[in-house]
Structure 1
Amino acid sequence: MLIALILFFMATAPNFATEQNIANIQTQITLNTILAAGLTFAILVSGIDLSVGSVLALSAMVAGLVITSGMPVPLAILCAILAALFVGLVCGFINGYVSVRWSVPAFIVTLGMLNIARGAALQTTDAAAVFGFPESFKNFGTATFLGMPAVFIVALLVIAIGQFVLTRTVFGRLLFAIGNNEESVRLAGHRTSRYKIAAFCISGAMAGLAAIIYLTRLHTASPIIGQGYELTAIAAVIIGGTSLFGGKGSLIGTFLGACLLGVLTNGLLLLGVGDFARQMVTGAVIVLAVIIDYYRQKMSARLNTGLPG
């Protein structure tokens, strides 16, 4: 689908295949790739995290205040990165712990965190934006490495490390197992609650990392950023083949899903399609991905039981 979409826009959209536009696409999909990578962990254990957009905003506000606190620049940048990751990690831990401890659906818990984190982001500076970051911090957002935007390299590293964790570690394999049959994993002697909470912690931490990337690109921390980001990230995960029911998926697929959405948005923009129509197309793609996931699950179940397709 991604290859077909690229070929279509190369033939129809002006300047689509230029080096500058390719770099623009890589930069534009960075945030969604990082958020979707974290969400993949949560969805693999049959969860969901609707709060990543708001957690991104809260992490960005905290990091922005740290950077502009007057500390020496290198120390301020380091502390800001750690602060953003810590805020995201704490929010993810709360999501996972509440969901597991009291058996509350993750949808409800993270919906509540969506409002809590957004309110906290607004409360932090009384809805005022934070700006005036050091040049050395802002330069990273426009830097290139090996011909690619540096922020895109960060996203690729997240995908590579995450894919390694999921496929080459016991932790990753247990996440798949929990998504497929949590009771079997529990009976095998593993405390599934720890792994599920860890998956939400990763999702929150990736929202914190995305906040830092956002600040390097936009140079301003605003409490209203990140609205709707969770929906685009979920779309990337599902389009990439991760099952909403848990237990199946990969970060490579998530990355390709983010690329597809980025290419689609960029191509429609070059064709002159308006914002409202682009939102409609994106929404249709999400619905289509869920329908495809349903039939994929149904076909998989038939193959596993030996029934005809």
Structure 2
Amino acid sequence: MTATADVRPATPRRRPPERNVREHETVRDRLRHLRYRASPQQFFAELFEKRWMEPAIPLAILIAVIVFFSVAAPGFATSANLLSTAAELAEISLICLGMAVVMISGGIDLSVGSMFGLCNMIAILLITVVGLPVVPAILLTLVAGAVLGATNGTIVAYLKARPFLTTLVTLIIFRGVLNLLDLHYSAKTASVFVMDPVWDWFGTGKVAGLPFSFVTLLVVLVIGHIVLSRSRLGWHITAVGASRRAARHAGIRVERVLLISYVFAGALCALAGVFYAARLSSASARVGEGLELNVLTAVILGGISLTGGKGTVWRAFIGAATISLLGKGLLLMDVGGEVLQTVLAVVLIVAVGLDTKWGKNRGKAIQKTYVNPTLVEYGPLPDVRPGSGSPFEINDRLRDAEAIGLGEVEGPEDVIVDSQGRVYCGTRQGWILRFSGPDFSEREVFARIGGHPLGMAFDADENLIVCVGGMGLYSVSPDGKHRKLSDETNRTWVQLRDDSRLRMADDLDITPDGKVWFSEATTRFDMADWILDGVEGRPNGRLLCYDPVTGKTRTVIRDLVFPNGICSCHDGESLLIAQTWLCRILRYWHSGPNKGKLEIFMDNFPGYLDNINRASDGTYWVALNGMRSPAYDLAMRMPTFRRRMMKRIPRDEWLYPSMNHGCVVKVSDAGEVLEAYWDPGGEKHSTITSMREHNGYLYIGGLENNRIGRVELRAGRPEMATTERAGRPATVG
């Protein structure tokens, strides 16, 4: 939703629902709004951001190879050829997966071809010479492959040898052992006849029409994906590959991780050797000769980084499929082996160049297209000048505010007072501080949560419920122990972006039934870049509800423009929702006869709204974290201008909303402005984001402040105290 052009009054007042506000818009106005709302730029920006878009170039090359040979090579696209290719593809892919894991861990294994050939020979010898049954022979072959991999891993990890030289030497050693075995047993391994159903199943068996080896490959791919992306071991492998020193400092056992990587590679080479032996029923010294070059080409072609710390099993499979299909296609076109090697070299050079170029420019493309401005129109800017007679008239009521914790806090976005009169606030370091004593001079770290604690509220059991930017919704018990309540909600499946995780839980309040209602200001930007959401102006936020009974969080309202402050109304049946960039307050009924109704409560403020809290006399306090300006109002009506601004000038020179004033506004339950408290120029309280009334005082917090402000209220009843606990009346005498 966006602000509309027909909002005229200078003083905010109760407005009808937005759908009614737009009844008098012309068709041209609606088409103009739709044009910017439906911009394809956001789709492509989010598409490029997806991790599965990283192998876009290797995948495009694979598709090009398939299409080319389907047209140019006779018999390439036949089912018989594809089934035969699938069996061969499974073998080379298993070897590529082993190489990929080693490379992700920061190493390299040039001996994979020799291990493959040697394990092939071992499987044949165990069955023919030793006379073992097929199943034990296969298991022993896998163990032999793991031992060969462990040999490489031990030398690299524990003897600190260089992976390239180590595996080059073991390549020669393993190949020499293979030659000796072939020399002594060539007559028995040249052609083998094994009458065993398990052996036949490994060689020619099919599952749902697919070769058993290919089905096994798919299972290994799924397991490898889960291990690398979802398990502690996988995270450790990636961390070691990215930086061994950093991984060691993080407590990761680097040597063990490297050893496991090489063992994994050896076992996969052995599995590929078993499938090869069962398919051809033969073994020789030439098996796997020169294969390491093809495997290395395939893995690099798939986008596995030679420097380590980057890659997936699927990217290794894409590279293996490209090399395998390329070789099969050239063979069908009667192209010689020398030409094949030349083509592989050319493809490798081109693919690596394109993938490197894509990797560099993908980030730039996301950066230049991710922020996608839309049309936002405001009403006339209210007059705030001294002597104007406006309820927003500038004054200096906050200039003499008492400072609590001066220089001892950083970014107290929200402040709250408990039943004992102690003041709490979050800080940029991820702490929650508590100030107590007659003059609030006693400072203590109440809890260390992490992230950036934002909105806070006490529940009926005196637990402090906190929205933590980047982490979700947390609860802190009276003794300072914290626990996570929720960091996810139901996903919007029609969106490309996965919005199930909470990126920026902002403010909250607790209704009398104990449910926690909180806002996620934006699903597209993180805590460090929240201001970019204002440059964009799109409905990226939502209202959520956490039910402590079920422990579940659900999304109640989507497509809100930076929903910031959340306040449970005095009636106990509705909520006020501050929309920062629209300078507007919505009212949502969560219960009662109007349940589910959403309308505009107040509109056209002179500044950007933040938190809202109840006052002791049935009214509400509203924080303005920045003030509108004619220049920025104009810029918000010109999305094309903002888009050009982002592309042509550095980010630190962009036009941003004005955040150098401090203002708190008091409004009635009928949507009327009653009074305002200012700190002109923000000398002491700029970027005010919250305020709490307690025992005749107003406590002030700000995202960029180094203090908590405390000002005595000139009007009202000091004996009244606002409560922020669920299940209790809004005010007590």
Question: After TM superposition, is the score higher than 0.5?
Answer: yes
The 3 A distance-change label for structure 1 pair 260 and 18 is same
Contact 2:149 2:265 in 1 (8 A): yes
The equivalent residue for 2:326 is: 264
For 1:56 and 1:180, the matched residues in 2 are separated by 28
Residues 156-195 of structure 1: matches in 2 within 5 Å? 156-195=218-257
For 1:103 and 1:301, the matched residues in 2 are separated by 35
Matched, 1:45 2:105: yes
The equivalent residue for 2:310 is: 248
Contact 1:63 1:212 in 2 (8 A): yes
Contact 1:69 1:76 in 2 (8 A): no
Write the deviation string for residues 216-245 of structure 1: whole angstroms up to 9, x where unpaired: 111012232110111111222111111111
- Which of 153, 159, 164 aligns to 1:96? It is 153
Question: How big is the shift at 1:305?
Answer: 12
Contact 2:201 2:212 in 1 (8 A): no
Question: How big is the shift at 1:33?
Answer: 0.3
Write the deviation string for residues 4-31 of structure 1: whole angstroms up to 9, x where unpaired: 2212222222122111111122122121
Letter in 2 for 1:176: T
Letter in 2 for 1:39: M
Contact 1:51 1:114 in 2 (8 A): yes
State the SS of the aligned residue for 1:47: coil
Write the deviation string for residues 283-307 of structure 1: whole angstroms up to 9, x where unpaired: 222233444455466568989999x
Write the deviation string for residues 150-209 of structure 1: whole angstroms up to 9, x where unpaired: 121122222121111111110001111111122111111111111011101111111111
Matched, 1:197 2:259: yes
For 1:187 and 1:102, the matched residues in 2 are separated by 20
Matched, 1:4 2:72: no
Matched, 1:118 2:175: yes
Structure 2: segments with no counterpart, 5+ residues: 1-60, 369-649, 651-733
Letter in 2 for 1:158: V
The equivalent residue for 1:30 is: 90
- Which of 137, 141, 144 aligns to 2:206? It is 144
State the SS of the aligned residue for 1:126: helix
For 2:353 and 2:142, the matched residues in 1 are separated by 34
Letter in 2 for 1:54: S
Contact 2:105 2:237 in 1 (8 A): yes
Letter in 2 for 1:162: G
For 2:265 and 2:130, the matched residues in 1 are separated by 30
Moved more, 256-265 or 36-45: 256-265
Moved more, 211-220 or 282-291: 282-291
Aligned length: 304
Identity of aligned residues (%): 36
The 3 A distance-change label for structure 1 pair 44 and 302 is farther
The equivalent residue for 2:80 is: 20
The 3 A distance-change label for structure 1 pair 263 and 237 is same
Letter in 1 for 2:306: L
For 1:82 and 1:220, the matched residues in 2 are separated by 18
CA RMSD of aligned residues (A): 2.4
Please state which structure has a larger fraction of its residues in helix: 1
State the SS of the aligned residue for 1:24: helix
Please state which structure has a larger fraction of its residues in strand: 2
Letter in 2 for 1:248: K
Contact 1:127 1:223 in 2 (8 A): no
For 1:258 and 1:180, the matched residues in 2 are separated by 23
For 1:303 and 1:18, the matched residues in 2 are separated by 40
For 1:70 and 1:90, the matched residues in 2 are separated by 19
- Which of 269, 284, 288 aligns to 1:226? It is 288
Where relative contact order (Cα < 8 A, 6+ residues apart) is larger, the structure is 1
State the SS of the aligned residue for 1:135: coil
State the SS of the aligned residue for 2:76: coil
The 3 A distance-change label for structure 1 pair 275 and 128 is same
For 1:260 and 1:162, the matched residues in 2 are separated by 20
State the SS of the aligned residue for 1:91: helix
The equivalent residue for 2:335 is: 273
The 3 A distance-change label for structure 1 pair 115 and 280 is same
The equivalent residue for 2:138 is: 81
The 3 A distance-change label for structure 1 pair 108 and 153 is same
The 3 A distance-change label for structure 1 pair 64 and 280 is same
State the SS of the aligned residue for 2:310: coil
Rg larger in 1 or in 2? 2
For 1:170 and 1:240, the matched residues in 2 are separated by 24
For 1:274 and 1:258, the matched residues in 2 are separated by 20
For 2:352 and 2:305, the matched residues in 1 are separated by 9
Contact 2:182 2:284 in 1 (8 A): no
